[in-house]
Amino acid sequence: MIRSLNIVLLCALAFGGCDKSQQIPKESPEVMCNTDNPGVGKFASINGLRMYYEVHGEGYPLVLIHGGGSTIGTTFRCVIPTLAKTHKIIAVEMQAHGHTADIDRPLSFEQDADDVAELLKQLNIDRADVFGFSNGASTTLQMAIRHPERVNRIVVASTFYNKAGAQPWFFDMMANATFEGMPKPFKDAYLAINPDTNALHRMYERDVARMQSFPEITEAQMRSIKAPAFIIIGDNDVVRPEHAVEMHRLLPGSKLAIIPGGHGEFLGEITTRQDSTLVAATMGMIEQFLNDPGEAKDYSF
């Protein structure tokens, strides 16, 4: 039997057939989450796409790639203020998401990776750290595979590289996904940027279709990744903990954290309960990894 929390987590990843938005606790006053970034957004012409991105802070470049159905704010609203204190954040919105309109070409993690690599090239950034969540972590893996010259270190949060890595119920539920089940905070965030409901439906349909035909990464491709990697999942995530360990073994020198909580809870993702202590602990581990890669450690607790 799938527990109700698991259903909420699935909604946050890929809009399964449910709407639990009324069950999402209100943000606690201690969590410093920021979804409004007036004046920092820019657009770049990338492979036929008018891609939206934001730049925050100063320091070594760190690319942030949001999850499926999401925007910069819905995924990273609680962590950008912290990360921007020590990094130059380049937060992107991928094809069909948020400010970045869809175009007539396939939606794929490989294409997303190519788009991010081209953006870095246009910004005259030779190499950057890359931090992706959920679908954004799949794009991050493709960045490390397809554009290793652009990638320094990677943080991959709540992702799997093959279908067996998901919880047993995940793809069965994806097969029955409905637009009505898309979390309301995702819909609201999209429509606040773009009031076109047809575009919202189209984004939803394309994201679901991509997950229903999830393109697996081979073990050989995983082993080809040379960038130091930090793998993060929640212990009640859509990813099986055993799969996270498998990824850890495939990426020599990688670090692994299995953190109490669900899909995106450790980031303060918009559909989850807001726990400032959990988010702060996660940010501390990420900062340690980015600033001192050193010898691999296992952060499971």
pLDDT per position as a tens digit, 132-149 = 999 999 999 999 999 999
Q: Is residue 9 part of a domain?
A: yes
Domain extent, residue 20, equals 4-291
Q: Is residue 300 part of a domain?
A: no
Q: Is residue 173 part of a domain?
A: yes
Task: Tell me what the mean pLDDT of segment 37-51 comes to.
Answer: 89
Q: Is residue 297 part of a domain?
A: no
Question: What is the reported pLDDT for 292?
Answer: 73
Q: Is residue 240 part of a domain?
A: yes
Q: Strand runs (DSSP E) across 29-158, as ranges? A: 41-46, 49-56, 60-65, 87-93, 128-133, 151-157
Higher pLDDT, 25 or 82: 82
Query: What is the phi-psi region of residue 35: left when phi exceeds 0, alpha when psi lies from -120 to 50, beta otherwise?
Result: alpha
Mean pLDDT value across the chain: 88
What is the tally of structural domains in the chain? 1
Q: Is residue 301 part of a domain?
A: no
pLDDT per position as a tens digit, 163-205 = 999 999 999 999 999 999 999 999 999 999 999 999 999 999 9
CB 83 within 8 A of CB 279: no
Contacts of 83 (CB under 8 A, 6+ apart): 56, 57, 62, 64, 89, 283, 286, 287
- pLDDT-derived band of residue 45, with 50, 70 and 90 as boundaries? very high
CA distance 117 to 109: 12
Q: What CATH number has the domain bearing residue 49?
A: 3.40.50.1820
Contacts of 183 (CB under 8 A, 6+ apart): 11, 12, 15, 19, 20, 21, 69, 271
Task: Tell me what the mean pLDDT of segment 270-276 comes to.
Answer: 90
Question: What is the reported pLDDT for 21?
Answer: 32
Question: What is the reported pLDDT for 273?
Answer: 86
Contacts of 50 (CB under 8 A, 6+ apart): 43, 44, 100, 101
- pLDDT-derived band of residue 29, with 50, 70 and 90 as boundaries? very low
Q: How much is the pTM?
A: 0.88
- Whether pLDDT at 9 is above 60: no
CA distance 213 to 210: 5
CB 107 within 8 A of CB 135: no
Q: Which residues of 251-274 are buried (b: 16+ CB within 10 A; e: fewer)?
A: beebbbbbbebbbbbbbbbbbbbb
Q: Is residue 299 part of a domain?
A: no
Q: Is residue 134 part of a domain?
A: yes
Alpha-helical (H) ranges within the chain are: 4-14, 72-76, 80-83, 109-122, 135-146, 170-174, 184-193, 197-212, 219-223, 241-250, 276-291
